[in-house]
Amino acid sequence: MKRSWLVVSLVVIIGLLLVFGLAFSLSRWQRFGGSKVALITVEGVILDSKEIIEQLEKHRTNPTVKAIVLRINSPGGGVSPSQEIYEELIKTRQVNKKPVVASMGSLAASGGYYIASAADVIVANPGSITGSIGVLIQVPNISGLLQKIGVKSMVVKSGEHKDLASPTREMTEAERQILQRLLDDVHDQFIDVVSRTRKLDRKKVEALADGRIFSGREAQALGLVDQLGNLQDAVDRAASLAGIPGKPTVILERKRRFFLLDLLTRAVPFNIDLPVSPISTFSVDYLLR
């Protein structure tokens, strides 16, 4: 009887150990082992910073992660999320003392270049498209269409400019000046960031910051990119900066996606322009469309 009780207890203990073992997520197991390089991907239009910031915070507090590679394939996006990601990357470098290397894919322009400029080193393919240092606001005007179909827009507002950038009427000169002042201020911030992080003369950056795009090779010649190479070169550079000997272990977190959305994006062979608020955006037009 006593032996049976011991056997049952042993089976229960082993079962509990197996359950607890399975309950550990992969992210927890990644805290064990040698030094690692974390790979974070930024893909598509930058409309939200939450997921990227969460990944950065996770890797900053993981003692086995010694460096971070930011893989960018983006035409740009919103001002605020781009600035938030930029600030978190700077914090990672300066507060947590973990080197950051930006790796440019096919496209890292506008807001994509903004966040890349926060890295210790920028690596680009010779044919990567980058630059587009500028700000854009697009305000559609559908007043003619509404008139044709007999629809009128009635607006009740508390202030003269409360319906600024309304698509149902022509923009006034005063409104145009307000938006231009906004753009000029954000553009000035962009130039300051590039000048400071890339250690370039501000006048030189101003001359380049007219919205034009560059190949990776052109960008390197201009001082906007440090090194030509692919993703593996960026990983190797990050490991070198962190003092990791040999071939580093890379932690890669795939972007969370809804299954149905994943099927749709794989099936539809053309780009879909999503509606974006016309206020406070870096250039969000698809550069190669």
- Only one residue has tokens 């994509």, namely 112
Neighbours of 51 (CB within 10 A): 13
Q: Cα-flanking dihedrals φ and ψ of residue 122, to 5°?
A: -110, 125
Active-site residue flag, 162: yes
Active site residue 58: no
Helix (H, G, I), strand (E, B) or coil at 117: coil
**Token pair listed for 108:** 């890292």
C-beta separation of 78 from 159 below 8 A: no
Q: Supply the angle between the helices 50-60 and 79-94 in degrees, to the nearest 10.
A: 10
Task: Give the active site residue among 97, 157, 162, 247.
Answer: 162
Amino acid at 66: K
Length of the chain in terms of residues written? 289
Rounded to whole angstroms, the Cα distance separating 154 from 262 reads: 41
Q: How far apart are CA 80 and CA 49, in angstroms?
A: 8
Catalytic residue among 49, 82, 103, 110: 110
The catalytic residues are 110, 162
